[in-house]
Amino acid sequence: MRLLKNDGQQNSIVSTIQLDEKGFFEKEITVPVKDYYILSLEDNQSVNVIVENSDTIKIYGDGKNLFFHTNIINSPSSTAMLEFLRVSAQYKQALDSANRYLQANQDKKKEIQQQFQTTYQNFLSQRKLFIRNHPNSPALAAAVSSVNIEQEFSTYESIVKSLQENFSESPTVQRLYKEYLSNKAKMEAKMPIAPGEKAKEIALPNPEGDTVRLSDYKGKVVLLDFWAAWCGPCRRENPNVVKLYKQYHDQGFEVFSVSLDRTKDKWVQAIEQDGLIWEAHVSDLKFWQSPAAKAYKVSSIPFTVLIDREGNVIQTNLRGAALENKLKSIFD
C-alpha cells in the first residue's frame, strides 16, 4: 500500500505501507503539508484522505472494493468528500452507459436525452445539497471537476473561493485558485462588455421612426434588453421584466429594449401582446446584422446589460431571479 500526493499532473509516493497477514496496518506518517492525499492499494484501488491537522486518522476498508466500502474515522472532511465522490462515480457510470446506448441507437437520441434528464437533475440536486451542507469544508474540492466552468461559473467561483478562504495552506487549493484566476480572465475576455466599462451608445428608431438614444437615460438605472418577437425565451422572460419595471420605475429604473426582429409588424405586435409598457423600444430591423447587437457582441438572446446611473455596466446577462435580486440590492 502507498500514500500518494498529486501535484496536478502526476502522483508521487509519500510513504509505503506494509500490511500484515490479515491486511491490517498501523503507521505514523509525517506528511509534508496539509493537503489532499491518496491511499492506494497495489491493484490501484484508492481512497482520498484530507489531512488538516495532527489527529490520528483511522481507515477501515474492504480490499475487494475499497472505494465503496471504506469508513474513515477522525476526518469528517474526508468522509464528506468520499461520499460525494461515490455519488459522482455513480452518475458518471450512468452517463457512460447512456452514451454507449446512444451510439448504438442514434434514431432514439431525443428519447434517450429526455430520459437521462431525470438522472442529470438528480445529480445536480445532490451536488447542490453537498455544497450547501459543507460550505467551509476542504471536501468541496470534490465538486470542482463536476462543474461546467462556462455554464456554471458562479458555482465554480463560490467553491474555489471557499476553499481558498478555509484551506489556503493546501498546495492543491493554491493550484485550484490559480486555475480559477486564469479561467476568470478567460471568461471576462469573452464577455461582450465587462462590469465597470462605459456602456456603448445606441441610437436607433422607435416604432414611430424617432431616434432614441441610450444616453438619454443617463441618471437612471437601465436594463438594456436585446430581444425579438420570434425569441421564445425572450417572450417567457418578458413578464418578469414588466413586473420589475412596475416595481422599481418610480425609483429610477428604466428598460431600453433593442429588438432583433426583421419586420415591424411582428415587433410592434409582440410589444402589445407582452404588455411592454416602457417607452424605449428601438430597432433597425436588421436581425443579427444590427450594429447595436454587433457593438455588444450579442450572439444569443435574450441578452441583457444592467447599467448604473453614470452609464457604467453593472453586470451582463441578468435574468429571472438573478435580475430581481440585483435590483433589490440596488433599490432596497
What pLDDT, on the 0 to 100 scale, is given for residue 22? 77
Task: Indicate the residue type of 144.
Answer: V
Distance between CA 41 and CA 247 in Å, rounded? 62
* Four-CA torsion 21, 24, 26, 32, nearest 10 degrees: 100
What pLDDT, on the 0 to 100 scale, is given for residue 61? 87
Which of 20, 51, 74 terminates a domain? The answer is 74
- Is 267 within a domain? yes
- 35, three cell numbers: 493537503
51 and 102, same domain (yes or no)? no
Q: Count the neighbouring beta carbons within 10 Å of the beta carbon of residue 187.
A: 15
At residue 229, the 3 state secondary structure works out as coil
227 and 255, same domain (yes or no)? yes
180 and 285, same domain (yes or no)? no
115 and 174, same domain (yes or no)? yes
Distance between CA 309 and CA 254 in Å, rounded? 10
Q: Count the neighbouring beta carbons within 10 Å of the beta carbon of residue 34.
A: 18
Element (H, E) at 97: helix 76-104
DSSP bridge pairs for 271: none
137 and 231, same domain (yes or no)? no
Q: How many domains does the chain have?
A: 3
- Is 196 within a domain? no
Any alpha helices (H) in 105-170, and if so which ranges? 109-133, 141-144, 153-166
Range of the domain at 9: 2-74
Which of 190, 212, 232 terminates a domain? The answer is 190
Task: Indicate the residue type of 169.
Answer: E
- Is 173 within a domain? yes
The answer to pTM > 0.75 is no
Bond prior to 302 in cis (omega within 30° of 0)? yes
What pLDDT, on the 0 to 100 scale, is given for residue 245? 97
297 and 253, same domain (yes or no)? yes
- Is 197 within a domain? no
Distance between CA 121 and CA 125 in Å, rounded? 6
Q: Yes or no: say if 320 and 240 are a contact pair by the CB < 8 Å rule.
A: yes
At residue 223, the 3 state secondary structure works out as strand
At residue 169, the 3 state secondary structure works out as coil
Distance between CA 253 and CA 129 in Å, rounded? 36
**Region class of 40: left (phi > 0), else alpha (psi between -120 and 50), else beta:** beta
What pLDDT, on the 0 to 100 scale, is given for residue 185? 86
Distance between CA 210 and CA 292 in Å, rounded? 16
Backbone angles phi, psi at 282, to 5 degrees: -135, 155
What pLDDT, on the 0 to 100 scale, is given for residue 29? 82
Q: What is the DSSP letter of 220?
A: S
Distance between CA 97 and CA 35 in Å, rounded? 34
What pLDDT, on the 0 to 100 scale, is given for residue 191? 67
What pLDDT, on the 0 to 100 scale, is given for residue 150? 81
CA atoms in the 13 A half-sphere facing the CB of 82:
23
- Is 195 within a domain? no
* Long-range contacts at 113-119 (CB < 8 A, ≥ 24 apart): 119/91, 119/94, 119/95
Give all strands (DSSP E) within the chain, no chain letters: 2-6, 11-16, 35-40, 46-51, 58-61, 70-73, 203-205, 211-213, 221-227, 253-259, 280-282, 303-307, 313-316
Which of 42, 74, 106 terminates a domain? The answer is 74
Q: Collect the ranges in the chain with pLDDT lower than 50.
A: none
Distance between CA 54 and CA 65 in Å, rounded? 28
CA atoms in the 13 A half-sphere facing the CB of 277:
12
| CATH code (residue 311) | 3.40.30.10
